[in-house]
Amino acid sequence: MTLPTKFPKDFKFGTATAAYQIEGSKTLDGRGFSTWDAIRSEYGRIRDNSNPELSCESRLKYKEDVELLAKIGVTSYRFSISWSRILPNGTLSEISEDGIQYYRDLCLLLRDNQIEPIVTLFHFDMPLAIYDNGTSWLNKQNCDHFADFADLCFQKFGDLVKTWITYNEINMQAWSSVVKLEGEQWLCPDRPQIENHQHAPYIAAANMLIAHAKIYRNYEKNYKETQNGIIGITNGGHFCIPASDSPEDKEASDRALNWLFTCTLDPILSDSGDFPVSMRQKLPFLPKFSDEEKKMIRGSLDFLGINYYLSHSVRGITDDETPNSQSERDGSYSLVEGKWEKICGETWIRYAPDGLLMLLKYVKEKYNNIPLLITENGCPDYVRKEGEAEKTVEEILNDKHRIKYISGHLEVVAKALESGCNVIGYTVWSLMDNFEWDDGFELRFGLCRVDFDSPEKTRTMKQSAMFYQKFIREFKKHHHLL
């Protein structure tokens, strides 16, 4: 039995993008200014110093991009709806009918090509007016505006979209995109420091969990019976492994897993309906959910999305040691370089499919084998060391390391299915090279190369796209889906 034939007939094989990372056309449809428009206008914020106007221009080229998806043969396409393109001010005070029509046209075209749209409602691009209204998710009114946006999306797209994701990497959003924190990624506009800023990620996480639950319950009450869709949330999948067999490292690894993964899942999926115990013990200021909020949050998931790129090796710290990041300091652990291969050169990515298998089994045991969709998995083009010659276009297109990365992770997903893990799909990040947040266009994750120097932003399938195309074709042939 070949690898593609080990997956069930209804398994989703897809690829993914996010609105801000590919769309461009930042004023078309009356689109409003977003946090990332602001960040890109701040000097020195983007590593490659790329032009803030540079983009894949997928808003204008979406028909060509759907053709590319159909050519690869994916059964699903995960993309996000830009809050700013639908609600330019972030609120229902102004609604862009042109923006709504664009996303309807995209969904209809996907349906015509037998590709299921999987829609993320929030993928890091918040309307700037909302961010500055009491600092992002720290203001509960902003959470209510997001719930209004979600409700509008259910009204306008629910006949076409049956799989929804509220937040992309809710854990990452809380730590990186609300306020600037020492040692953490900085993915929000430059603003003066707020009072008790070190409490911000925990307050934001609590507020987002409540907003997610409100959105879920609204869909459950008002839309599910007629639209028959499902709603999930995507978490960054960081499995943590002790650096040694010492009790100190094992305990530190458990705490790291709480801080990096389970903190935004336990309130939804555990019987307690609360943050992990280790966090309650260490953080006296940690927000408390009311009994009513716990009831609303608990069970507010039809499936769990996981973005997986690497695992972490973790050790304990001594009393006189101060780790680099706030999350490590708060949780009393330290992330150290593990055994895994740097498959794409000098980047943060590691080739750790074994960690994915452990994570899938962990979710199965801890969270009652909830349906699990791998919403992102992938790696960038090889990043050369200083002094190495630049890769030619031909070498970039011949991305054997990415084929190894994808196939290695598909192998462990097949093993997870054999062991009873309820995995419902696998999604490659990304369809095409795009704007990779603070890295700009320096890291290019695409199955397809984008020539950013060409007027047409020409797309070309890399060898990995052809590998995935062949893999999916064999899967479809096996299940008589062609």
- In degrees and rounded to multiples of 5, residue 371 shows phi and psi of -55, 135
* Active-site position among 184, 328, 376, 436: 376
Q: What is the 3-state secondary structure (H, E, C) of the chain?
A: CCHHHHCCCCCEEEEECCHHHHCCCCCHHHCCCEHHHHHHHCCCCCCCCCCCCCCCCHHHHHHHHHHHHHHHCCCEEEEECCHHHHCCCCCCCCCCHHHHHHHHHHHHHHHHCCCEEEEEEECCCCEHHHHCCCCHHHCHHHHHHHHHHHHHHHHHHCCCCCEEEEECCHHHHHHHCCCCCCCCCCCCCCCCCCCCHHHHHHHHHHHHHHHHHHHHHHHHHHCHHHHCCEEEEEEEEEEEEECCCCHHHHHHHHHHHHHHCHHHCHHHHCCCCCCCHHHHHHCCCCCCCCHHHHHHHCCCCCEEEEEEEEEEEEECCCCCCCCCCHHHHHHCCEEECCCCECCCECCCCCECHHHHHHHHHHHHHHCCCCCEEEEECCCCCCECCCCCCCCCHHHHHCCHHHHHHHHHHHHHHHHHHHCCCCEEEEEEECCECCCCHHHCCCCCCCCEEECCCCCCCCEEECHHHHHHHHHHHHHHHHCCCC
Side-chain half-sphere exposure of 127, counting CA atoms within 13 A: 26
Residue 404 CB-density burial (10 A; 0-12 exposed, 13-18 middle, 19+ buried): middle
418 is catalytic: no
184 is catalytic: no
* Active-site position among 116, 169, 328, 436: 169
401: Cβ–Cβ under 8 A, 6 or more apart, which residues? 343, 344, 379, 382
Give dist(CA 138, CA 131) in Å, integer.
Answer: 9
Q: Please say whether the beta carbons of 356 and 413 come within 8 A.
A: yes
- Short-list 28, 209, 29, 18, CA closest to 126: 18
Catalytic residues: 169, 376
